[in-house]
Amino acid sequence: MVIEQAKQVLKIEAHGILGLVDKIGPEFKKAVEIILKAKGRVILTGMGKSGLVARKITATLNSTGTPSLFLHPAEAIHGDLGMVTKDDIVLAISNSGRTPEINTILPILKNMGARIISFTGAPDSPMAMASDVVIDVGVEREACPLGLAPTASTTAALAMGDALAVVLINKRRFGKEDFRKFHPGGTLGERLALKVKEIMLTGDNVPVVKLGTKVGDAIAVINNKGIGATLVADGNNRLQGIVTDGDLRRALLKSKEIHDLLVDGIMSPSPKTIDENQSAAEALGIMELYGITHLVVVDREKHIKGIAHLHDLLGREEFRINGISRSAPRTDC
């Protein structure tokens, strides 16, 4: 009985969403065009469960490049209408289209010059009549008895919101970089939980010169590898020091002709190091403590395993992860 009932609920909700497929038409297209042309934001509003759906759609639009705000209809008439401008688009959600709080504010919003899009199951309702564009999100059957809680109807409204957001993503050519820009929290959290060995640069990507290398050659390596420094190693690849952009500037202050000098004379001999099994969060802590942007990854015998850069900890497109080398030299150091 329990299993059967749960399955039935899912079937009803699934059919509710499938029913929307045939309802996508010119009105939906018009809504997309209005939002794309808008100079302002998309203001979502709804009461009760529809309000919760509106909040979720707000979050989805915001994280996919469409600036949005949630406006509580009851708060709106007590001053929050001030957050709306004539350049904004209002997206109102009400299954009945008869929610008094919404129908009170729509004429005011319209007078302000905002255009109204509505999601409703009742295209002949007062809310629909007051709207510039009406998107029918009506379903044929609810999964919850007695109207105790909207189920299929709110699921349908939520899905239609997703459809709108995804179409806007494509229309705006919203890319992976944009998504990362809007999601620093999640990405950073995930990355800082990784181990240093999962984000460090390795192999040919690590700038290394031998003791006795001329500074001119070291500059070429620094320039080529693009992280603003090169490590200095002995014949057994054991760490001996680091030459950073700062070391080069300080050397130039002493003498204009540094190309023929040896790295041994200008390098910092005791760069900060970290073990490859320590966490990225620990690496970040060390960098913050000493005000540096690199950590050399070494084993117990000081053999060089790699180098961790601040940008790789925070997440950069061309980082190395699990053996995948970065694709191109960096120029942003």
Nearer to another protein (CB atom), residue 35 or residue 137: 137
Count the neighbouring beta carbons within 10 Å of the beta carbon of residue 174. Answer: 18
How far is the C-alpha of 167 from the C-alpha of 254, rounded, in Å? Answer: 60
Nearer to another protein (CB atom), residue 24 or residue 194: 24
Nearer to another protein (CB atom), residue 150 or residue 241: 150
How far is the C-alpha of 288 from the C-alpha of 314, rounded, in Å? Answer: 13
Q: Give, in order, the Cα–Cα distances in Å from 248 to each of 110, 164, 304.
A: 63, 53, 22
Residues sharing a CB contact under 8 Å with residue 163, sequence separation 6 or more, in sequence order: 20, 24, 28
How far is the C-alpha of 121 from the C-alpha of 162, rounded, in Å? Answer: 17
Question: Which residues of this chain interact with another protein, rule CB under 8 A?
Answer: 8, 11-12, 15, 18-19, 22-23, 47-50, 94-96, 98-100, 121-123, 136, 138-143, 145-148, 150, 153
3-state secondary structure of 108: helix
- Work out how close the CB of 118 gets to another protein at its nearest, in angstroms, rounded to a whole number: 14
How far is the C-alpha of 313 from the C-alpha of 85, rounded, in Å? Answer: 40
- Work out how close the CB of 3 gets to another protein at its nearest, in angstroms, rounded to a whole number: 15
CB 152, CB 123: distance < 8 Å: no
Q: Which two tokens stand for residue 71?
A: 């406006």
Instruction: With residue 171 as reference, give the H or E element that holds it.
Output: helix 152-171
Nearer to another protein (CB atom), residue 85 or residue 104: 104
- Work out how close the CB of 142 gets to another protein at its nearest, in angstroms, rounded to a whole number: 5
Nearer to another protein (CB atom), residue 14 or residue 108: 14
Q: Which two tokens stand for residue 121?
A: 């199951």
- Work out how close the CB of 149 gets to another protein at its nearest, in angstroms, rounded to a whole number: 8
Nearer to another protein (CB atom), residue 20 or residue 251: 20
